[in-house]
């Protein structure tokens, strides 16, 4: 029997044009949710060769679900507000918000704590922290209560640093989002909206794999440091999103699920 536990629900997924965001959006649609996909570039995943369909929007429509695709820079408050309002206007009250947009998008060689330039720091904070904050602030007044669920995607780097000290500001911005989520959980708990985080470990999407060699990622040594002895895949992530977005986690808020294969449990 097909699992349709999110039948009739409305979900927003940011950064959904490819990679993990696309995976989350498709999985929620398969569970019966209507989905709004937000991205700064809705064609990014298609250009990267991540899928053969016309678009992620069409993939969701082919699953029989309603879908809204909005191209927006979510690090700009007014664009985030307008995107969320459009999603609610076209699909109805919001049940699930997955803030996935972001990433370590600045050059790794200048990502150290002592060398990150101002422009890089501003960009990383804007796309990894403020975009999520703006979407939360826009969505909360439009969310079903009780029953609404906010899922903020952080990173394993919020708990443990890179072995060479890289990605300092990216990890710091995600750590700020982790703390913000805990405050959100306290504030929204009385009205029945839950807020949690998911922290991916080394997850190989097509774009991550393409950049892995240049960034020293995806090496056999790194795989050997993971107890499950492999890198993660997008399909390894979707279960946590399903759990936190559904009534299976009705009494869970302010928490963070690490989807890492056990990364960090082994001392090198």
Residue from 24, 134, 167, 170 carrying the catalytic annotation: 170
Asked whether the predicted pLDDT for residue 210 surpasses 90, the reply is no
CATH superfamily label, 10-259: NAD(P)-binding Rossmann-like Domain (3.40.50.720)
- pLDDT, tens only, 122-132: 999 999 999 99
Asked whether the predicted pLDDT for residue 21 surpasses 50, the reply is yes
- pLDDT, tens only, 134-148: 999 999 999 999 999
- pLDDT, tens only, 159-204: 887 778 899 999 999 999 999 999 999 999 999 999 999 999 989 7
Q: Whole-structure pTM over 0.85, yes or no?
A: yes
Name the E strands within the chain.
10-14, 34-39, 67-71, 96-99, 149-153, 194-200, 256-259
Confidence at 4, pLDDT banded by 50, 70, 90: very high
Report the percent of the chain where pLDDT is more than 70: 92
Do residues 87 and 68 touch, judged by C-beta distance below 8 A? yes
For 102-127, what is the mean pLDDT? 96
- pLDDT, tens only, 36-57: 999 999 999 999 889 999 999 9
Ranges of each domain in the chain: 10-259
Q: Which residues pair with 35 in a beta bridge?
A: 11, 67
Report the percent of the chain where pLDDT is more than 90: 81
Q: What is the pLDDT of residue 204?
A: 79
Q: What is the pLDDT of residue 65?
A: 98
Mean pLDDT of the chain: 93
Q: What is the pLDDT of residue 211?
A: 59
Q: Which residues of 58-85 are buried (b: 16+ CB within 10 A; e: fewer)?
A: ebbbebebebbbbebbbbeeebbbebbe
The 3-class secondary structure across 177-214, one letter per residue, is: HHHHHHHHHHHHHHHCCEEEEEEECCECCHHHHHHHHH
Q: What is the pLDDT of residue 268?
A: 47
Asked whether the predicted pLDDT for residue 1 surpasses 50, the reply is no
- pLDDT, tens only, 212-241: 555 555 566 778 889 998 899 999 999 999
Active site residue 134: no
Q: What is the pLDDT of residue 209?
A: 61
Asked whether the predicted pLDDT for residue 18 surpasses 90, the reply is yes
């Amino acid at each position: 029997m097909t699992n349709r536990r999110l039948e009739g629900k409305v979900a927003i997924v940011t950064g959904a044009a490819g990679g993990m965001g696309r995976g989350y959006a498709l999985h929620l649609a398969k569970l019966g949710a209507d989905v709004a996909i937000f991205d700064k570039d809705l064609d990014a995943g298609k250009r990267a060769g991540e899928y053969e369909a016309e678009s992620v929007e069409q993939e969701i429509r082919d699953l029989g679900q309603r879908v809204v695709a909005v191209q927006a820079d979510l690090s700009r408050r007014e664009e985030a507000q307008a995107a969320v309002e459009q999603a609610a206007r076209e699909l109805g009250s919001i049940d699930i918000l997955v803030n996935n947009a972001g990433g370590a998008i600045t050059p790794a060689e200048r990502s150290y704590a002592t060398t990150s330039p101002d422009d890089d720091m501003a960009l990383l904070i804007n796309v990894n922290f403020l975009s999520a904050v703006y979407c939360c602030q826009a969505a909360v007044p439009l969310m079903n209560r009780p029953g609404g669920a906010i899922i903020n995607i952080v990173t394993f780097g919020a708990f443990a640093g890179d072995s060479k000290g890289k990605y300092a500001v990216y990890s710091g911005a995600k750590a700020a989002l982790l703390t913000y989520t805990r405050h959100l959980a306290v504030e929204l708990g009385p009205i029945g909206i839950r807020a949690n985080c998911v922290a991916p470990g080394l997850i190989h999407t097509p774009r991550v794999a393409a950049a892995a060699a240049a960034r020293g990622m995806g090496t056999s040594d790194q795989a050997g440091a993971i107890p499950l002895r492999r890198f993660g895949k997008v399909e390894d992530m979707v279960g946590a999103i399903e759990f936190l977005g559904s009534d299976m986690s009705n009494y869970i808020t302010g928490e963070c699920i690490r989807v890492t294969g056990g990364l960090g449990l082994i001392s090198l």
